[in-house]
Structure 1
């Protein structure tokens, strides 16, 4: 009897350890499943996680058509049409990228949207030659990008880890000023930097970090969505949620191809096609960053080839419907790395929501009512995560003096040139806008230096 009493606490301790071990194993298995790109979480989790991706990119996706419409002097109705097409095309492109059609699509959790990289090139074309010239150039530029994707295996020598990693790092660094512009209330805000904007952004920032780091399961995975919802709840009684556009928006509108038209101007084609080719490095960097940050592995050649082809053909498709060139959205790459949810089906749900938003303008108007400062508190974390993903990619390249020079010169070109625009103010306009972007000179520097600098014969070949 005494033996039984003595053994009972030991037995209880053993069972407690087994239960704890089982719980830890289950948690590990859940985390491993979420890192699987082909895993579909329960819809009660997948749907809000998909909407979270839409919230992360919606305003940025709408910003490009608003900027270009202003440069082209379009009416309010034409501007609304461009924004609607931006949503619709981004949704279709996201579905192609995540679910795939034959060789098209990376089949990774990649959100597609309107590329900011083309804006400096498209503004002067829209202002002087009109939108048809922009869309004609984008149609050809998209096809050029698709050709790079088709022959990616042969052209991959241009994009080793030291190049693609540098490019992802540059994307994160160059996006950070955009994120902090949101924090201040948005570029052009009359009360930019007002205390209520800063406090809202800080609230979203700390709520997002707290849920991401100190919660587990769905609460951690949806940290960005929770942060944005808390920010909106606080902004509402302050009168910072403007729903006036919701009542003005129609309930349903079908996309109309060739509504704006196409014009094929050689100068416009050259400028946009050059930007499209350079943007291939951004696409490859985003695809690689998604695979590493989400699935914790390198992207395959098939994923890279299919992803770049999808970017290119989606951009050509966009031009037919009055939307601007498409690219994988870098902030969503950061969101995948932040949440650890790599399911492509979660992002496909977000793509379906974007298509719906494009067909039902009122839905888009609701999402666009989110204050810029609320988004700012979330995106600065995501942009920082993009830069971290770039550092992680660079860790796969040898840090010898050759590669350090490539990274250093690329950073110098990308950050230094835009800060001193007087250096190239007398250059031709097309050259000037390419240099002003920062991303193009940085990308070209990394590609060219990688090709011309001698490699150490003892160094292992980068893959």
Structure 2
């Protein structure tokens, strides 16, 4: 919180720079709130493709570096790019269900190439944002978020069992360790107050890590081999443009735009006590897209505004974009030191499992909350119900499309793409859309 000498006007002013002795800890606090969630997607994808330890370290390092730069672009701006509000950027969980089958079937370069193209598509949506928002009403975005959480849950339970392909998968020590992390995380989140309650995930992982040490589940050999410092290497993984992979990620990028809009609005409303301007929304979504393309060049996955930091802005009452920029600079610094990434990769799969099960469950809960704000009439229930049925049905029965080409199978394997497309199409073609959009509350925009 600001000290008493600072007025409430300063606290809600996105352009105010507090004294460094306040700004630095507040900025680091933002990093602590998002750090685990930022490095978990590359850990999951690397584990799913059985990447060697040095590759996993490299992906984690890239995730930290790119998230830091993306946060600086989003907060400080680069011409029309960037919302210039206190938005923390990081690696998006939403793309994980889509990128895993792409990386498994077509390779990591194909996943990076698809992410590059998807970022450009998202940036284009940001530029024309006023003209495309009709594609993503709450019934579509709520269904999408709900499906993301549900489809990711099996990944979380695979981690809890010891990780994909583990020789001792399901061993009791993995299950008890995951359960311990889950209990600690829930306990801190529910029984502590203020900022400490936001640190539940971090607390659970730290406790699980300390317990895993005497169990012999942690090896530091990779840490010893990692360099102390290293500059980022663009195109180290490379970009390969596979059409069906591009289609999958572009669809995800378009749908994820709605998440970005919601986070920007939530940050500005919760921190600055006003609605976001069209310029802020457009610049923010363009930053998400262009930073995602930049991330692919620098061996990282798509970037998106982090919802947990939206709540942190409201909790602290500090809306200064410069505070968040300090956190971004800290992430860039951490991304330049591979040993930091190597330490992160020593976290046992079961420890991560206990944490991400909660993360993924909360994503699904967020989708339910979004749908609860929708008029669940017959039309909207059909949009949500059919989309969920298609997504989960295809995911559960891959033999239904076993005869399709490899590219089509890669696009359908996650289930999420099919579900998202069905939601968008049904919303466009079913009667009642005009009345629904007319009734939807559109925030008033202040003069720019």
The alignment's TM-score, normalised by the length of structure 1, stands at 0.78
The alignment of Structure 1 onto Structure 2 pairs a total of residues equal to: 422
What does residue 151 of structure 1 align with?
128
Residue of 232, 249, 260 corresponding to 1:275 = 249
CA distance in 1, matches of 2:343, 2:234: 25
RMSD over aligned CA atoms reads 3.7
CA distance in 2, matches of 1:111, 1:312: 11
Give matches, 1:323-362, under 5 Å.
Answer: 323-328=299-304, 333=307, 341=315, 351-362=328-339
1:224 deviates by 2.0
CA distance in 2, matches of 1:158, 1:139: 22
> What SS does structure 2 have at the residue aligned with 1:238?
coil
> What SS does structure 1 have at the residue aligned with 2:91?
strand
* Deviations, residues 440-459 of structure 1 (Å, cap 9, x unaligned): 01100110001000117765
CA distance in 2, matches of 1:362, 1:42: 27
1:46 deviates by 4.8
Q: Is the 8 Å Cα contact of residues 166 and 446 (structure 1) preserved in structure 2?
A: yes
What does residue 35 of structure 2 align with?
54
* Deviations, residues 287-312 of structure 1 (Å, cap 9, x unaligned): 52675599669876555433432232
- Say if 1:54 and 1:156 are closer, same or farther in 2 by CA, change over 3 A: same
CA distance in 2, matches of 1:51, 1:325: 20
Q: Is the 8 Å Cα contact of residues 220 and 339 (structure 1) preserved in structure 2?
A: no
Is 1:187 aligned with 2:161?
no
> What SS does structure 2 have at the residue aligned with 1:103?
coil
Q: Is the 8 Å Cα contact of residues 118 and 253 (structure 2) preserved in structure 1?
A: no
Is 1:305 aligned with 2:282?
yes
- Say if 1:228 and 1:363 are closer, same or farther in 2 by CA, change over 3 A: same
What does residue 5 of structure 1 align with?
none
1:176 deviates by 1.5
1:353 deviates by 4.1
Is 1:461 aligned with 2:442?
no
Consecutive unaligned residues of structure 2, counting only runs of 5 or more, are: 4-9, 443-448
- Say if 1:210 and 1:126 are closer, same or farther in 2 by CA, change over 3 A: closer
**Greater shift after overlay, 162-171 or 343-352?**
343-352
Residue of 404, 413, 423 corresponding to 1:436 = 413
> What SS does structure 1 have at the residue aligned with 2:213?
helix
1:216 deviates by 1.7
What does residue 16 of structure 1 align with?
none
CA distance in 2, matches of 1:204, 1:270: 38
Q: Is the 8 Å Cα contact of residues 88 and 358 (structure 1) preserved in structure 2?
A: yes
Residue of 178, 195, 217 corresponding to 1:218 = 195
> What SS does structure 2 have at the residue aligned with 1:399?
coil
Is 1:205 aligned with 2:179?
no
Give matches, 1:10-409, under 5 Å.
Answer: 43-44=24-25, 46-64=27-45, 70=51, 81-106=58-83, 107=85, 109-113=87-91, 115-116=95-96, 117-126=98-107, 131=109, 135-136=112-113, 138-259=115-236, 268-269=242-243, 271-285=245-259, 287-288=261-262, 301-302=278-279, 304-321=281-298, 323-328=299-304, 333=307, 341=315, 351-409=328-386
Pick the structure with greater CA Rg: 1
1:43 deviates by 4.4
The alignment's TM-score, normalised by the length of structure 2, stands at 0.80
CA distance in 1, matches of 2:434, 2:286: 33
What does residue 10 of structure 1 align with?
none
Consecutive unaligned residues of structure 1, counting only runs of 5 or more, are: 1-25, 27-32
> What SS does structure 2 have at the residue aligned with 1:237?
coil
1:182 deviates by 2.0
CA distance in 2, matches of 1:196, 1:276: 40
* Deviations, residues 18-66 of structure 1 (Å, cap 9, x unaligned): xxxxxxxx9xxxxxx9999889876446524522421233132244356
Q: Is the 8 Å Cα contact of residues 160 and 350 (structure 2) preserved in structure 1?
A: yes
